[in-house]
C-alpha cells in the first residue's frame, strides 16, 4: 500500500519511508506534475507530503479492492439470473405448447371452446383474473393456465433483477475507473515530489531502508528460535495458532515479492492481497478487503499478539500485515516496495485479529 509512519517518528523511520517511496516510479508508471515542493522544503517536509499522498492512495486502494470484489459477485449473480431466465423461458414455451396441443385437440373434436379462444388471444394474467372464465375451463386446462401465469411472473422477475444487477455493475465499473485514476494520480504526485531528491539523498534513504529491513528480519528470526526452543524462556508472545503460523510461513516465502496495488498474488501483492493469499495457503478463506479481514476472527490487543495474527493499522483499518513476533510484522508495504519484515512501530496500530 502506501508508505507508512507514525506521526513524528524518529528521522531514521522517515528516511526509510522515503527510500521505499523513491523507487515507486518503476511500479506506478505515472508521471505527475501537479505536486511540487516549495523551494525551502526539507527532506522531512517532502516526506510528510509523500506519506500523506501514499496513505490517501492506500485508502482508495482498499475501496477499489472492495468494488472489484463486488464486480465479481455481480457478474456471478447476473450469469445465474440469465441462466435461470433461459431455463424459465424454455419451461414457459413447453407449457404454452402444451396448451396449444389442448386447443388443437378441441378443434379436431368439434370446435374450440370459447374460453380457450379467449385465452389464446389475450394476456393469461388478465384472462385468469376473470373468475367466470375459469369456471368454463376443465381442471386440467385451469391448472395449465395457472402454471403458465406463475412461470411468466417468475420470468419477468428474473429479468427485472438481472436488469438491476447489470445497472449496478455498470456503476461499479465506472467507480473502479475513477478510483484507478485517483490512485494513480496520488502516486504520481508523490513521485513528482520524490523526483526532487538528489541522487545522494536517494542513496542515503535506500541504505537506511535496507538496514531497517535486515534488522526486522533478524528480530523475527530470533523470535522464531525463541518460540521453538523450550529452554529459551521467552514469554513475549502468545502461542501461535496452527493456521496462523502456517499463514505466516506462507507469507515468508514471498519475501521480496513486489507490491502492486490491487494484486493478490501469487507473484505480487498489496497489503490485504498478501494476507488473503497467505491464509488461503493455510486453508482459510479471508475477505479481500482489510476492513473486512478485521472481522474474520477474534480481536486481540498488542500484548496478546501471537505470530500469525493479522495486525491492523490506522483508524480506517486501511493497512494489514501478519504478526511475526518480537514487535515485527511481515507485510506488503507500499508502491515501489517489496514484501518485507518491518517494525510495527512505524504505523499507528489499532488491534490484531486471530483467525482459526
Query: pLDDT by residue (tens digit) across 231-258?
Result: 443 434 566 678 999 999 999 999 999 9
Q: Count CB-CB contacts under 10 A for residue 101.
A: 11
34 pLDDT more than 80: no
Distance, first Cα to last Cα, the chain: 25
Q: At 224, is the pLDDT very low, low, confident or very high (cuts 50, 70, 90)? A: low
Report which of 288, 267, 279, 290 is spatially closest to residue 338, judged by C-alpha positions: 267
Sheet holding 298-300, edge to edge: 298-300, 349-354, 310-313, 319-325, 328-331, 340-343
* CA-to-CA dists, residue 302 to 177, 207, 314, angstroms: 38, 30, 14
Which comes out higher in pLDDT, residue 177 or 47?
Answer: 177
Summarize the confidence of residues 300-323 as an average pLDDT.
94
Mean pLDDT, rounded, of the chain: 75
271 flagged as catalytic: yes
331 flagged as catalytic: yes
Q: At 312, is the pLDDT very low, low, confident or very high (cuts 50, 70, 90)? A: very high
User: What is the rounded distance in angstroms from the CA atom of residue 300 to the CA atom of residue 240?
Assistant: 13
Output the pLDDT for position 119.
53
C-alpha cell at 321: 500485515
- Are the C-beta atoms of residues 235 and 248 closer than 8 Å to each other? no
Output the pLDDT for position 321.
97
Point out the least confidently predicted range of 48-52, 188-192, 293-297. 48-52
208 pLDDT more than 90: no
Which comes out higher in pLDDT, residue 166 or 227?
Answer: 166
C-alpha cell at 134: 375459469
Query: pLDDT by residue (tens digit) across 88-138?
Result: 888 888 877 776 665 555 555 555 455 555 455 555 555 555 544 445 556
Across 133-137, 210-214, 297-301, which has the greatest mean pLDDT? 297-301
Summarize the confidence of residues 25-48 as an average pLDDT.
52
User: What is the rounded distance in angstroms from the CA atom of residue 220 to the CA atom of residue 348?
Assistant: 20
User: What is the rounded distance in angstroms from the CA atom of residue 319 to the CA atom of residue 259?
Assistant: 13
Point out the least confidently predicted range of 12-21, 79-88, 116-125. 12-21
Summarize the confidence of residues 18-34 as an average pLDDT.
39
User: Of 4, 54, 55, 319, which residue is the catalytic one?
Assistant: 319
User: Of 4, 54, 55, 271, which residue is the catalytic one?
Assistant: 271
- Supply the pTM of this predicted model: 0.56
User: Of 4, 54, 55, 331, which residue is the catalytic one?
Assistant: 331
Summarize the confidence of residues 17-37 as an average pLDDT.
40
Amino acid at each position: 500500500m502506501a508508505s507508512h509512519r507514525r506521526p513524528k517518528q524518529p528521522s531514521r523511520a522517515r528516511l526509510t519511508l522515503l527510500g521505499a517511496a523513491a523507487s515507486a516510479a518503476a511500479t506506478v508508471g505515472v508521471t505527475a506534475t501537479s505536486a511540487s515542493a516549495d523551494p525551502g522544503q526539507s527532506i522531512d517536509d517532502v516526506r510528510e507530503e509523500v506519506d500523506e499522498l501514499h496513505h490517501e492512495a492506500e485508502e482508495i486502494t482498499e475501496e477499489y479492492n472492495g468494488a472489484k470484489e463486488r464486480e465479481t459477485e455481480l457478474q456471478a449473480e447476473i450469469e445465474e439470473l440469465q441462466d435461470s431466465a433461459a431455463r424459465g423461458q424454455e419451461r414457459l414455451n413447453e407449457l404454452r405448447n402444451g396448451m396449444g396441443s389442448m386447443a388443437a385437440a378441441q378443434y379436431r373434436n368439434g370446435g374450440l371452446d370459447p374460453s380457450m379462444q379467449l385465452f389464446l388471444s389475450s394476456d393469461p394474467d388478465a384472462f385468469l383474473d376473470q373468475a367466470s372464465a375459469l369456471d368454463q375451463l376443465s381442471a386440467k386446462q385451469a391448472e395449465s393456465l395457472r402454471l403458465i401465469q406463475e412461470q411468466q411472473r417468475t420470468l419477468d422477475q428474473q429479468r427485472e433483477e438481472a436488469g438491476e444487477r447489470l445497472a449496478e455493475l455498470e456503476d461499479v465499473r465506472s467507480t473502479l475507473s475513477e478510483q484507478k485514476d485517483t490512485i494513480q494520480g496520488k502516486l504520481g504526485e508523490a513521485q513528482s515530489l520524490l523526483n526532487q531528491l538528489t541522487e545522494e539523498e536517494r542513496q542515503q534513504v535506500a541504505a537506511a531502508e535496507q538496514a531497517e529491513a535486515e534488522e526486522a528480519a533478524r528480530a523475527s528470526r530470533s523470535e522464531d528460535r525463541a518460540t521453538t526452543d523450550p529452554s529459551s524462556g521467552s514469554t513475549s508472545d502468545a502461542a501461535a495458532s496452527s493456521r496462523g503460523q502456517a499463514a505466516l510461513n506462507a507469507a515468508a516465502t514471498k519475501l521480496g515479492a513486489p507490491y502492486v496495488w490491487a494484486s493478490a498474488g501469487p507473484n505480487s501483492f498489496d497489503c490485504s492481497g498478501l494476507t488473503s493469499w497467505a491464509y488461503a495457503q493455510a486453508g482459510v478463506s479471508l475477505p479481500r478487503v482489510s476492513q473486512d479481514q478485521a472481522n474474520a476472527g477474534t480481536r486481540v490487543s498488542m500484548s496478546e499478539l501471537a505470530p500469525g495474527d493479522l495486525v491492523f493499522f490506522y483508524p480506517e483499518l486501511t493497512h494489514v500485515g501478519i504478526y511475526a513476533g518480537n514487535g515485527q510484522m511481515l507485510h506488503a508495504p507500499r508502491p515501489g516496495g517489496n514484501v518485507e519484515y518491518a517494525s510495527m512501530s512505524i504505523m499507528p496500530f489499532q488491534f490484531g485479529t486471530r483467525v482459526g
